[in-house]
Homo-oligomer: A and B are copies of this chain.
Amino acid sequence: MSIFLTVVPVSKAVAAVKSLARTTGDDRVPLEHAGGRVLSEDIRADGDIPGFDRSVVDGFAVRASDTTGAGEAIPSILRSRGRVEMGKADEVQLQTGECIYVPTGGVLPKGADAVVMVENSEEVGDEILIKKPVAHGENVLMHNEDFARGDLVLARGRRLFAQDIGMLAAVGCSTVPVFTIPVIGIISTGNELVPVTEVPAAGKVRDSNSFMAGAFVQEHGCTPRYYGIVRDDRGAMRETLNLAVAECDAVLISGGSSKDDRDMTAALIGELGEVMIHGIAIAPGKPTIIGSCSGKPVIGLPGHPASAFIVLIAIVRHLLDGMTGTAAPVQKTARARLTRNVPSTRGREDYVRVQLENGAATPLFGKSGLLNTLVQSNGVIRIPAESEGIEEGELVEVWLW
């Protein structure tokens, strides 16, 4: 193999992983367990929400026209018709000059079109003094105002957060149609690696990337399955990759960082399937491999921790979003001003870790073998391949982690 990689643009690498990404099935889970899952079907309102005109305050349901000109000095005087019981639809038909007490959430009786807050009223025997006028519809949630029966409330591909779970409850979705959770196999290679439980001898380092990748996979709605450290032995590696491809929906090979390791990984993927891309115009993260075995995505991550992390964020994320069925990107971003010049090499996308504080992003420069810039940063900025850098003071978009 050549010592030079034939690198492709990031957009091509992203397109490649997207083309490989398939959801793994669908399922139904109880609403209590649907948080963080992704909808596999559109959800529509099964009825009108609310199903009736609803007071949003504690107060007196009135005809708004009866309160015109009401004030502290000269209140409107309305005859009380008693109170609407919570959770009950009252048969009362409100006439001009009348009012009825309605608790927050209670049904507005027929004839009423607004509610006067109890704070703006005074009870005098059977009569209620209204001290502030209300407009038609004031303090009322109208029938249908939130959603009408049949309205799309949440679309397929939505990753479900707390507010969505509330929404699903409101439309009676007690078991939720979701995509199944993809299982991602994680294999570590590299003769320099020792397990986390060992104290590294001279020349050795602990295998940290595979656990980082596993946690990342989990944060993106997948289940990691660890295959441990495989020695740089082609037979052992082939056996493990075959097993992982059979047992999982995709495989990440957390690479040894040397060219030998990378070459073996690429050769093996080629032998058992197809290598689509070997080398991406991204820094850090160039020696990334994208391929497939038995139609399942197999990604070779670079060996340096920061490189591996950037590739997870910039490339693998799209694979996982595709496999989990997530339609809208989960990546949160913030705008900030750069506190220093950041030079970049034209022709590759540079990802620079930054510390974000009060709208200012300070780049943390550091070799891609370092972990400290990763744990000390809280996001990354992307410098496009066409750019030679970004100047101090410019507005940048920070991908938050």
A contact residues vs B (CB 8 Å cutoff)? 3-4, 31-32, 34-36, 46-47, 49-52, 54, 56, 58, 85-89, 103-107, 118-119, 141, 145-147, 153-154, 160-174, 190-193, 195-216, 218-219, 224, 226, 232, 256-261, 303-305, 309, 312, 332-336, 359, 367-372, 374-375, 395, 400-401
Contact = CB atoms under 8 A, between A and B. Distances in A.
A54 to B, nearest CB: 7
A314 B162 CA distance: 14
Given A119-B4, A170-B208, A106 B163 contact: no
B106 A172 contact: no
A232 B86 contact: yes
Contacts of A368: 56
Given A141-B369, A192-B106, A87 B215 contact: no
A303 B104 contact: yes
B164 A375 contact: yes
A375 B153 contact: yes
Contacts of A4: 119
30 contacts: A3-B118, A4-B119, A46-B199, A50-B205, A51-B205, A56-B368, A85-B191, A86-B190, A86-B192, A86-B258, A88-B203, A89-B201, A104-B259, A105-B192, A105-B303, A105-B369, A106-B192, A106-B258, A107-B202, A141-B369, A141-B370, A145-B367, A147-B372, A162-B216, A162-B309, A164-B215, A164-B375, A166-B211, A335-B359, A359-B395
Contacts of A191: 85-87
Contact of A32 (B173, B190, B211): B211
Given A54-B369, A89-B202, A375-B163, A207 B106 contact: no
B154 A375 contact: yes
A4 B119 CA distance: 8
B219 A161 contact: yes
B258 A202 contact: no
A218 B33 CA distance: 10
Contacts of A201: 89
A305 B359 contact: no
